[in-house]
Structure 1
Amino acid sequence: MSEHRTDSSTPAATSATTSTQPLADRGSNRSQRPGSATFVEFVTSGWGDRPPSQAQRGDAADFTAARRSALSAQFPGQRLVVPAGTYKTRSNDTDYRFRPHSAFAHLTGLGSEQEPDAVLVLHPVEDGRGDDGSGHHAVLYMRPLAGRDTDEFFSDSRYGEFWVGARPTLEDMETTTGITTRHVDDLRDALAKDVGPDGVQVLVVPGADETIEAVVDEIRATEAAGERDDVLAEALSELRLVKDAHEIEQMRRAVDVTVDGFEKVVRELPRAQRHARGERVVEGTFVGHARQEGNTVGYETIAAAGEHATTLHWIDNDGVVRAGELLLLDAGVEIDSLYTADVTRTLPVDGTFTEVQRRVYQAVLDAADAAFAVAVPGARFRDVHAAAMEVIAQRLDEWGLLPVSAAESLDPEAQYHRRWMVHGTSHHLGIDVHDCALARAEMYLDAVLEPGMVFTIEPGLYFKSDDLLVPQEYRGIGVRIEDDVLVTADGNENLSAALPRDPDAVEAWMRGLLGS
């Protein structure tokens, strides 16, 4: 090994302490991109004609128009700014894969990795003269495909065709979305038009894109602006509480692909048991499936074996998978439209429940069934949780684990049973795994259930290995059963029913997949 000097008098050390190059510019020090006039002329010439456009109207376009119209009715005369968002830094100069803001995706139908730095604006017009008779005209502002005679074509790692492939043209995007599309360079002037104390008010979705928020803040000068932005975010969230036909179709597709992923995981359980980090085998199997068949996973996969199943959001997934223990798999595929499933099954690693495991599992299943029974039109969202908790409290009482009766424990001021299930039973599901999260309590927790609502039912019981208030036989057992539920006109539908829930059915299903 050659000697490495660290004396401060060396040229390298002197350079490091006296450089005037800003830190922000130093990422380019590694670059050896050509830039001579000769190269530029050569690289921008000699290209054949582009193939004809293959853009077609998206299957969501008719539905997104209705969604925008419903939003328009709540904000007459106001300009609504809904950014797609931008890339988020993972580390140094590398970014996470782009995912558009959920409100942007919901109103445009653009999913997958579309369309970084784009902005949807609903411009107010005379009531009834806008899109589909609404009070707004929607315009999508984006950076389109650049010509091959431009520097962007070969030198821009964010937008350049050499780097990220051919981007859609303005015409392509307008065809796909059914929304008037303009160059993003026109955005600032469009946002500022007719803005003033007695003119148009501008609202922007908070937290979606800091750069766009800064532009809007410069344009408007009112102390109440931030409060109005929150109202817009709230409305966009509540707009998704009841799913339309297209959204329900997307949810069915996401769940179906997720079911396939669970089957792949079961087939890989023998390999997981042989690996030092078998939980990673489980996670990798499901994540690989999600990337092959969808966009990605809808949230970080929980692959929790043994004691790890008692940690509600266990995502380290670095543990062993042992025969005789349970595997709690909480996972969902997010398809290209960004709609995601959210399903949990707790499986005996070797395909057969022990007596105690089955006892705990059956209690959780009974709680889930009780929740299903009340998840019908006319009931309140909070009733779903209450029904599950009655079963959980009763079963814990029967096992002698509560210091009081089940009825006493269910008192809001007691809640002893919640020691072993501290989470809620349900949450809305859709384009976000915890969809509609900014909705008001009266529209969510206290809401009357309606056909078209989609949410989870996911009771559980979790007995940690060091819990001295439970008998030894229960310690280290964690069970959760989670299904995705659609409220229908006459009851509900379990969208994830293709995955067995009954313990006998689970064992038979696993035997079939494992060939045992």
Structure 2
Amino acid sequence: MNQTEQSSVHPDPTTLQPLEERVNNRSHRPDSDAFRAFMAANWAPASTELPARAEVADHAARRRRAISEQFKGERLVIPAGALKVRSNDCDYRFRPHSAFAHLTGLGVDHEPDAVLVMEPVADGAGDDGGHHHASLYFRPLAGRDTKQFYADSRSGEFWIGPRPTLAEFRALLGLDTVDISALEVAITKNVGEPSVGGVSVRLVRKVDENIDALVDTARYNTAVDPESVDLSALDALDAKLAEALSELRLVKDAWEVEQMKMAVAATAAGFADIIKALPRAVSHRRGERVVEGAFFARAREEGNELGYDTIAAAGNNATILHWTRNTGTVTAGELLLVDAGVEADSLYTADVTRTIPVNGTYSPVQRTIYQAVLDAADAAYAVAQPGRKFRDVHNAAMEVLAARLEEWGFLPVPAAEALSVDGQQHRRWMPHGTSHHLGLDVHDCAQARAELYLDGVITEGMIFTIEPGLYFKAEDLAIPAEFRGHGVRIEDDILITAEGPVNLSAALPRTPDDVEAWMARLSG
């Protein structure tokens, strides 16, 4: 090989184009002085009218005040998160971290890289009489006289549309809003061990790796003895903040309850769309995708997104708990289990499951299974009362299901023995929990302590699911053949009030007769 050939195979690394710039190789972007001057001229002036204060602003302020009470004297850093690449230069649709959304009131998709910083001040001298002053660090809209306006496909207004200005966010949220260029100093200034006059920092980790690195570097650089920094202690410091933020969401305020009602109403409309789409689903080779698509259209029309990937599971696929491939057929005579939820623009999501007969009528065996699950759900609902333990809801459902499985002769032991800690044989056909908290995350408050979650006391303002099921796989030889290949789950979203539970998703039929009548009405 001659020298020329060799250099073409192994080019000089000093002449290589940086990787981060290569995604733009397909574009022909002008960059002349004349073009820049022309792009900056002759635009209508931006409106200076500021929005009214959002209804959520006062609720978010109370949430920040509650967190301030728990972490006096410490700087709290809550990132929204960064854009994530889906493919090459295409990003996933942005959704901020739930803790950030909860404390700011912001939803939708216009604050990537933003960070909420709660700066400690003298006791009682902070926002609303608290112990911190909160600031939202945000990338402001680039002026039309900047190159970013037309050349930055991730954040330029020409590409993605306008973003609120700092002044608009300040008016909307009642929250001090600062250019993100000041963020590094805000996070790292006077960080150090309190014993030597420094400020301790707590961070919601694994949301934005750049912020993680910034906080970690500041901690190491200001440690009295960097070589002996206790990483586990720092992790525990941050985990305690995540725990507190999760527990703060266990009880919803009035604004959150209204958002949940909106999400559930949109979800109910999406289930009606599914019924109307069933004929096309039955005729399509991937009918489950037809079902999934019908619901997704409703989620995008009325909300921000899906709250989670839709489960559209027909036949034996309904026995797969998290079947989200949705590649199967939908066949008359089978059951169709759909677990789906619309996420509102505020990011609060519903989580509802219905199991329907594809042909509009339950077979005798299908109705038997369905009625057992419905009875379990009703038993769980009956004990979902203020003052009861959260785990009582699950236990009530299990007692009903174990009794039915014993009655049908499926259990190798009596139901009472199966329900014991050393038994649990009934869980072969009902392996998941009956309830989980619901809100900004479909599995909300998941980092709360067990004594406040599983062993917590049911309290007015809580919203959680009740979702028992029975799943009899086609290959399960422990049961009669006629039961195999059927999966049933019924899931509703429950609000706890002072008077007892309220089923937010009750507009969707639940009994076998009501489901059949509903399907006939929508199909007619």
Equivalence for 1:74: 70
Equivalence for 1:287: 296
Equivalence for 1:227: 236
Q: Distance in 1 between matches of 2:6 and 2:508?
A: 63
The verdict on how the C-alpha distance between 1:98 and 1:9 changes in structure 2, with shifts beyond 3 A counting, is farther
Equivalence for 1:4: none
Equivalence for 1:49: 45
Q: Distance in 2 between matches of 1:196 and 1:211?
A: 19
Equivalence for 2:151: 155
Q: Distance in 2 between matches of 1:13 and 1:494?
A: 73
Q: Distance in 2 between matches of 1:149 and 1:297?
A: 37
1:440-465 C-alpha deviation (Å, 9 max, x unpaired): 10110000110011100000000000
Matched, 1:18 2:11: yes
Where do 1:39-438 residues align within 5 Å?
39-53=35-49, 55-197=51-193, 198-221=197-220, 222=223, 223=230, 224-438=233-447
Q: Distance in 2 between matches of 1:485 and 1:416?
A: 28
Q: 1:161 Cα shift? A: 1.1
Q: Distance in 2 between matches of 1:62 and 1:12?
A: 69
Q: Distance in 1 between matches of 2:7 and 2:414?
A: 76
RMSD: 1.6
Equivalence for 2:514: 505
1:420-451 C-alpha deviation (Å, 9 max, x unpaired): 01111010000000000111101100001100
Q: 1:48 Cα shift? A: 1.9
The verdict on how the C-alpha distance between 1:129 and 1:277 changes in structure 2, with shifts beyond 3 A counting, is same
Give the 3-state SS of the residue equivalent to 2:178 in structure 1: strand
Structure 1 unaligned blocks of 5 or more: 1-7
Q: Distance in 2 between matches of 1:478 and 1:153?
A: 53
Q: Distance in 2 between matches of 1:512 and 1:123?
A: 58
Q: 1:52 Cα shift? A: 3.9
The amino acid that maps onto 1:432 is D
The verdict on how the C-alpha distance between 1:55 and 1:400 changes in structure 2, with shifts beyond 3 A counting, is same
The verdict on how the C-alpha distance between 1:36 and 1:16 changes in structure 2, with shifts beyond 3 A counting, is farther
The more displaced of 337-346 and 35-44 is 35-44
The more displaced of 501-510 and 210-219 is 210-219
The more displaced of 150-159 and 501-510 is 150-159
The amino acid that maps onto 1:213 is D
1:178-211 C-alpha deviation (Å, 9 max, x unpaired): 1000001111112233322222111110111110
Q: Distance in 2 between matches of 1:210 and 1:195?
A: 19
Give the 3-state SS of the residue equivalent to 1:259 in structure 2: helix
1:407-430 C-alpha deviation (Å, 9 max, x unpaired): 111111111100001111010000
Q: Distance in 1 between matches of 2:3 and 2:400?
A: 75
The verdict on how the C-alpha distance between 1:446 and 1:11 changes in structure 2, with shifts beyond 3 A counting, is farther
The amino acid that maps onto 1:215 is L
Q: 1:311 Cα shift? A: 0.3
Give the 3-state SS of the residue equivalent to 1:363 in structure 2: helix
Q: 1:25 Cα shift? A: 3.3
Q: 1:282 Cα shift? A: 0.2
Q: Distance in 1 between matches of 2:9 and 2:485?
A: 55
Matched, 1:484 2:493: yes
The more displaced of 375-384 and 184-193 is 184-193
Q: 1:16 Cα shift? A: 5.6
The verdict on how the C-alpha distance between 1:246 and 1:358 changes in structure 2, with shifts beyond 3 A counting, is same
The amino acid that maps onto 1:153 is F
Q: 1:153 Cα shift? A: 1.3
Query: May I ask how many residue pairs the two structures share in their alignment?
Result: 508
The verdict on how the C-alpha distance between 1:295 and 1:342 changes in structure 2, with shifts beyond 3 A counting, is same
Give the 3-state SS of the residue equivalent to 1:168 in structure 2: coil
Q: 1:13 Cα shift? A: 9.6
Q: 1:31 Cα shift? A: 2.5
1:162-193 C-alpha deviation (Å, 9 max, x unpaired): 11111111100101111000001111112233
Q: 1:91 Cα shift? A: 2.1
Q: Distance in 2 between matches of 1:16 and 1:341?
A: 56
The amino acid that maps onto 2:334 is E
Give the 3-state SS of the residue equivalent to 1:220 in structure 2: helix
The amino acid that maps onto 2:402 is A
Q: Distance in 2 between matches of 1:25 and 1:248?
A: 46
Q: 1:104 Cα shift? A: 0.3
Identity %: 62
Give the 3-state SS of the residue equivalent to 1:56 in structure 2: coil
The amino acid that maps onto 2:138 is M
Q: Distance in 2 between matches of 1:412 and 1:218?
A: 47
Q: Distance in 2 between matches of 1:265 and 1:256?
A: 15
The more displaced of 137-146 and 53-62 is 53-62
Q: Which of residues 23, 26, 30 in structure 2 aligns to 1:27?
A: 23
Q: Distance in 1 between matches of 2:387 and 2:279?
A: 46
Q: 1:138 Cα shift? A: 0.6
Q: Distance in 1 between matches of 2:64 and 2:50?
A: 26
The amino acid that maps onto 1:246 is W
Matched, 1:465 2:474: yes
Give the 3-state SS of the residue equivalent to 2:25 in structure 1: helix
2:50 and 2:171 in contact (8 A); partners too = no
Q: 1:19 Cα shift? A: 5.4
1:387-416 C-alpha deviation (Å, 9 max, x unpaired): 000001000000000011101111111111
2:110 and 2:163 in contact (8 A); partners too = no
The more displaced of 326-335 and 86-95 is 86-95
Equivalence for 2:227: none
Q: Distance in 2 between matches of 1:121 and 1:164?
A: 26
